[in-house]
Structure 1
Amino acid sequence: MLTRNPKIRKGLFMALCCLIGISVWGSPVQANSNADSYNYSYWGRTVASPAAYTATGSVNGLDIGIGILKEPSDIQVTSDNYIYILDSGNNRVVILDQNYELINVIDSFNNEGSIETLLNPQGLFVTQDKKLLIADTGNKRIVELDKDNNLIKIIEAPQSELLNSTFDFQPVRVVADKAQRIYVMSIGVFDGLMEFNAAGEFNTFTGANRVNVDPIEYFWKTISTQEQQSKMIMFTPTEFTNLDINEEDFLYVTNGDQWGDNIKMLNAQGSDILRRNGYFKPMGDIRYFADEGPSRLVDIDVADSEMYSVLDAKRGRVFTYNGDGHLLYIFGGLGNKLGEFKTPTAITRMGDDFLVLDKALGEITVFQTTEYGRMLNEAVRSYYRGDEGEAFNYFQQTINMNSNLEFAYGGIGKALLRQGDYKEAMFYFKKSMDQKNYSKAYLLYRKEVLREYFSIIMTGILIMAVVISVATRYRKLVRRKRGISIE
C-alpha cells in the first residue's frame, strides 16, 4: 500500500527519477579510456569520428635540461609563444620558448632585500605585459612579478567583513583582467572567486555556485530522523576547480558540480552567460558507466572565436566546444601510450597545438591538428568572423570527412541562411535536427515565395473573382428569361 506521508512520497519519487537517470545516462558506451575518437549524436549515442588531434611528442624536465619536473600543476602559453610551467614540487616556474628550449627558471625573488622562495605553488597567470602572478599556496599569498622578475606586490589573507574570523587564505588558481583586477580561487571558499583590485585590496566575491542537491542524499534526508540527518552531508555550493579568462575579460570556470552546470562563463556581475544551445549542455562525457560517474573537469582553456576546451581528469579526455555549446571533438585518454595520461592536470594552446600537462609523469604531451581538426577549427572561425562563403566550404569539407557530425550540417545551414538561400538552409537544418533554425528558415522561405509570386497570386484571385461575378450574373439572367424565381 502506498504511503500517505507527503515527504516520503516526494522522496520516493526523486529516488525513482534518479534511478531512471542512472539507467539512461550511466549505460556502458564507447566512452572509455581506450576508446577510439568519437562524438555524440543528437540522440545521445556515441558515433565514430575522425581524430581531430594526434599526439606528436612529449617533453619532460630531463629533455629541457633542468631535472625531473615534480608534480607540475599549471601551464600557460603567452601570445608570443613563451611557455610557463609551474613546477610545484620543485617550487619554481620554468619558462621555455616555442621550441621547448629553456629561457629562465624562477625559484626566488627579492622582497626589500630579503630573498624569498615559493612553497608548493599551484597556479600561475601571465598578463599581456608579461607580469607573472603566482598562487603561492604553501605561503598563503599571491606573488606578482614584473617581466624582469622584480617583485610588484604580494597579496596575503585579506581583512573584510565578508570573511569570517577563521578564514584561511590558500590560493590555488589566479587570473587577471585588462583593468588589473585579480581573480583568485582559494581552497575551502564556497562563495565564488575572490576579486582583488589593482592595488591588491579585496573587493568582493563573484560567481558563486548555486546549491545543487543530490537526489539520493535528499531522499534519505526526507525519511531520516533528526539524529541521522545531523550526520549527513550538508548541502553546500561546490568549489571551482579551475578558471581562465578570454580577450573580452569574461571568466570561464569549471567546478565539481555533478547535478548542475560544471562549466560557466561569468560576466562582470558574476552571472553565468554561457550559451548551451548544443544537443547537450557542455559537461564532458554525457554517457558513462554508472560506477564511474560523470566527467571531473579540472581545467579550462579559452581559445579564439569563442572556442573553449575542458580537461576531464577522470578519463583523461579533452572536450572542445564552440561558442554555442556544440561539441566539436574529443581526444586523449588514460593509459601508457603517447597521447594518453596518468594524471592530467592542465591544458593550454600554442597556436592550434594543445599542450597537456601530466602531474604524475611530470611531462607535457604535444597534440597537433589533423586535416579534419584544421578544417573544423577554420569552419568555426570563418562563421564567427561572418565569412559565410568560407564557412560553407570548410563545413562542407568537414562533412566529407565525417558525415556523423550533425553540428556541421547546422553550420552549413546557418551559412546558407546568412546568404539568403533559405530553401537549401532548411535541408541542412533538418539534417542537423535544428528545429529552431529550421522554423526560422521556413518562415523566411515562405515570405520569399509569397513575395515572388504575389502578383501572380493576386492576379489569379482577381480573375477568379471576376469569373465568379460574371457567372453569378449570367446564372441570374438565364433564370429570369426562363421565368424562374431567383428567390
Structure 2
Amino acid sequence: MKLRSSRRVLTLLFLTLTAAALVPLSAYAEVPYWTNSKDKQGRLVWTQPAYTPEGMFGKDLTIPDPDNPGTAKSSPLQNPKDVFIDKRDHIFVADTGNNRIVEFGPEGAFIRIIAPERDSPGGSFNKPEGVFVTDDFDLYVADTGNKRIVRMDKDGNYIREYKRPDSKYMPESFKFDPTRLVVDKRGFLYIAVLGGYQGLLQLDPQGNFQSFYGANKTVFSPLDAMKRLLYPKKMYANEISKLPGAIRSVAVDHDGFLYTTTAGKDIKSEQIKKLSIKGLNMLESKTFGEVRQSDLKFAAGGSVAPQLIDIAIDSNGNMTAIDSSYNYINQYDANGNLLFFWAGPSSPNTIQLGSMKNPVAVDANSRNDLILLDGQEGVLQLFRLSEFGDKVNAANKLTLQGRYEESERHWREVLRLNANYSPAILGLAKAAYKQGNYKEALELFKRGDDHKGYSDTFWQIRLQWFQSHFSVVATCMAAAIISLLLFERATRRTAWRQAWNNRTRSNNEFVVKLKHMFYMLKHPIDGFTALRYEHKGGYRSAVILLIIAYAALVVMKLFTGFSFNMDDANSVNLLSLLLQYGAVWFGWVVSNYLVSSIYRGEGRFKDVFVGNAYALIPFILIGIPLAAVSNVLTMSEQTIYDFMEKALYVWTGLMVFWKIQSLQNYSVGETIINVLLSLLTFLALAVLALVVLGLSSDLKDFIHEVYQEVRLR
C-alpha cells in the first residue's frame, strides 16, 4: 500500500510539473508572434504577450450603393496611410487610395465615409495622408495631393483650409506637402511635411506662420568630417549637402507634449523625440528601435537599422512605435524605457490575425488597446491589452508617479508571472529603497543591472554603517597610531632592530631584475636605459610582469565595484580575455620593433619586448587597488574613480613613450613619430589578421563541404 501511495504521489507531482511547464507555451500559442523585452545589458527576455489580436476590419468594407438603393457594394481601403482615435474611441482612417476619410466605431463597425464632392465648398480630397480629430470633434485632414490642410466640423461640413503660409521667414524652396498633423488645445497646428527637414511647421488658428518646431540635427559621419577637414572649399561645395532627417509622424499626449518620429538610412539616434516647449528633445539620452539578433542575420541586404515611422501615446504615457524595417511594434514607457516589442513579418500569401505585412500607422483608444493599420492589405487590427500587459501598465504607472509602495504589490504579481522581467525587478528595487529596505534594494538593483540605483542604495548602507561604527573605527585608528609610535620608540635601539636595518640585500639576479621596476617608478628614463645597457631586465622577469598585469586586468574585470563595472562579470571569458590581451600586447611589440628597426632605432627585439612589459608597472600598481577601492565608493565619488583610472592609462602611456625614447635613443619629436607609425602598423597588422582569419574560415567551410560531398556519394 505504501508503494502504491508513493507511486501516486510521484505521478501527481510529475503531472503538476508538466502542466506548470506547459503554461507559458499555451500563453504563447494564443498569438502568432513572440513578445520580448530586454534587460539593461541588452539581452533578450521572453515575456507573455502584452497585447492579443482581437479583430480585423476594413478589408471587407461595404458601403450603400447609390445606383441600387437598398443594396451595398464592396469598397475596401486602398493604400491607407494614417489612423486616429478620438475621445469617443471612434476610429478615423485616411484612405489615401480612395481619396476619403473612413470612420469606424470602437469595435470596428463602419459608420460613415467623408469624401466631399468636387463641387462642394471645400472641394474634394486628393490623396489625403493624415487625419486628426480635436476634443470638439473638429476634423483636420492632411490633403497631401492638394497641398493643404482641410478643417471640418463633426458632421463633415467644410470650415476652412490652410495652405502654404506667406511669410518672409519661410525659405522659398520649402514645399508644402502635408502628411501628418496634430492640433493643440489652443488650436495651433503642427504639421509634418514630405521631406521637410526644417522640422514641424507651426501655424496659428488663422493659418499664419509661427515657426519651425522640433527640427532634427544633421548627422555627420567620420568620412564627412574628414572631407570637411581635407577638401578645398570649392571641392567641398560640390559635395551633396548633408541635411537633417525629415519628421515622418507627430503625436500629442494628454498633457500637450508633442512626439515625433524620424526615419532614414542615416538616422540611428533620436528616432523618437519628446519635445519641450522650446522644441528640445526630452528623451535625448534614450535609444529606440529594438531588434532580435536572429532577425539581423536574415535581414534582406544585410544588417538594417530599425526605422520608426509612426507613434501613438496612450493614457499612461506609453509610446508605441512602428518599425518598418522588421514590422516590429515597440512600446516604451513615458521615460523612454522599453516595456515590450513584438510581431514580425507575416505570410506573403495570406492575411493572418496578429501579423502585419506593412504596418504604417498606430493609435491607442481610451482602454489603451491598439489599432494598427496595414497599408498593404488595407486592414485595421485591434490589439487588446492582455492581463499581463495590464498588470505591467498599472505597476509602471504608479512607479513613474513616485508611488513606489503602492506599486510593490503589482510588481510582485508581474514578477510572479515572469521572473526575468527587468522593469518588475527595478520597480521592486525602487519600492524597497523607498521603504528603507536597503539590503533587498541593493540585491534587486544589481539583479536588474541598474548601476545608478545600486550606487544610491550602497551610499545609504555605507552611511548607516559609519553612523553606527564611527566611534569604534575612530578609536581603533587612534589606538593603532599610538601603538605604532610607542612600538617605534621602544624598539628603536634593540639588537634585533639593528640587525634588521643592517640585513644583507639579496644578490639573486632574478630578484634584482624584478626589484628594478621600483627604481623605474622614480627614474623611468634611466631605468629603461638600464634595461639594455646594464642588463637589469630579462625575458623571465618580463613574463612574470605580463602575468601579473593580466591578473590585474582580470581583477579589474571581475572585482570592480558594481557601481562602476559596466561589464557583466558572469559573461567574462578569461581565455578570450587572455587571447585579446596577448594579441594586443604582442602585436604592439612587433609593430613597434618593426618601425624602430627601420626608423633609426637602436633597440633590439629583446629590449622592446622587455621594455613594454616593464611599461605595464603602473597598470599593476593602480589597477588592483582601484578595483578594491571601487567597492567602497559610490557614483557620488565618481571623480575620484575617474581620476585614478585616467592616471592609470596616462601613466602607462607615458611609460611606453619613455621606453621608446630611451631604448631607441630618440628625441621627443622622433619618439612621437615612432608612436604614430607604430599605431598605423598595428592597425595594418590587425586588418591583415582579420583577413587571414576570414579566409581561413572560408577555406575550412570549403574543405568541409567537399568532404561531405565525397562522403555522401
TM-score tier, shorter chain, comes to 0.7 to 0.9
2:598 aligned residue: none
CA distance in 1, matches of 2:225, 2:136: 49
Rate the CA distance shift 1:418–1:305 in 2: closer, same or farther, 3 A.
farther
Q: CA deviation at 1:406?
A: 2.2
Q: Which has the higher strand share?
A: 1
CA distance in 2, matches of 1:116, 1:400: 58
Please state whether the residue corresponding to 1:282 is helix, strand or coil.
coil
Please state whether the residue corresponding to 2:372 is helix, strand or coil.
strand
> Aligned to 2:214, which of 207, 215, 225?
207
> Aligned to 2:359, which of 319, 341, 344?
344
Unaligned runs of 5+ in 2: 1-31, 64-73, 483-713
CA distance in 1, matches of 2:476, 2:213: 69
Q: CA deviation at 1:224?
A: 7.9
CA distance in 2, matches of 1:49, 1:232: 48
Tell me the alpha carbon deviations over residues 91-139 of structure 1, each in whole angstroms, 9 at most, x when there is no partner.
Answer: 111112212222222111799x736111100001111111111111011
Does residue 394 of structure 1 match 2:410?
yes
Does residue 322 of structure 1 match 2:322?
no
> Aligned to 1:283, which of 281, 289, 296?
289
Asked whether the 8 Å contact 2:391–2:410 carries over to 1, the reply is yes
CA distance in 1, matches of 2:140, 2:450: 44
Asked whether the 8 Å contact 2:312–2:362 carries over to 1, the reply is yes
Tell me the alpha carbon deviations over residues 376-435 of structure 1, each in whole angstroms, 9 at most, x when there is no partner.
Answer: 112112223433233212222222222332232111111222233222211111111111
What's the TM-score once normalised by structure 2's chain length? 0.56
1:256 aligned residue: 263
Q: CA deviation at 1:35?
A: 6.8
CA distance in 1, matches of 2:330, 2:271: 13
Please state whether the residue corresponding to 2:215 is helix, strand or coil.
coil
CA distance in 2, matches of 1:164, 1:202: 12
Q: CA deviation at 1:222?
A: 7.1
Rate the CA distance shift 1:140–1:115 in 2: closer, same or farther, 3 A.
closer
1:365 aligned residue: 381
| One-letter code aligned to 1:433 | D
| 1:2-401 alignment runs, 5 A limit | 36-63=34-61, 65=63, 67-108=75-116, 114=121, 116-215=123-222, 233-257=240-264, 258-274=267-283, 276=285, 281-285=287-291, 288-289=296-297, 291-336=302-347, 337-350=352-365, 351-401=367-417
Q: Percent identity?
A: 28
Asked whether the 8 Å contact 2:39–2:449 carries over to 1, the reply is no
Q: CA deviation at 1:448?
A: 4.0
What's the TM-score once normalised by structure 1's chain length? 0.80
Q: CA deviation at 1:85?
A: 1.2
Q: CA deviation at 1:458?
A: 4.4
What's the Cα RMSD here?
3.3
2:423 aligned residue: 407
Asked whether the 8 Å contact 1:120–1:136 carries over to 2, the reply is yes
Q: CA deviation at 1:225?
A: 9.1
CA distance in 2, matches of 1:397, 1:41: 19
Q: CA deviation at 1:274?
A: 1.6
Unaligned runs of 5+ in 1: 1-33, 470-487
2:462 aligned residue: 446
Asked whether the 8 Å contact 2:61–2:77 carries over to 1, the reply is no
Please state whether the residue corresponding to 2:60 is helix, strand or coil.
helix
Which has the higher relative contact order, 1 or 2, with Cα contacts under 8 A spaced 6 or more apart?
A: 1
CA distance in 1, matches of 2:223, 2:53: 41
Tell me the alpha carbon deviations over residues 362-381 of structure 1, each in whole angstroms, 9 at most, x when there is no partner.
Answer: 00112123332222112112
Does residue 421 of structure 1 match 2:437?
yes
Larger radius of gyration: 2
| One-letter code aligned to 2:278 | Q
Q: CA deviation at 1:442?
A: 1.7
Rate the CA distance shift 1:335–1:446 in 2: closer, same or farther, 3 A.
same
Q: Which has the higher helix share?
A: 2
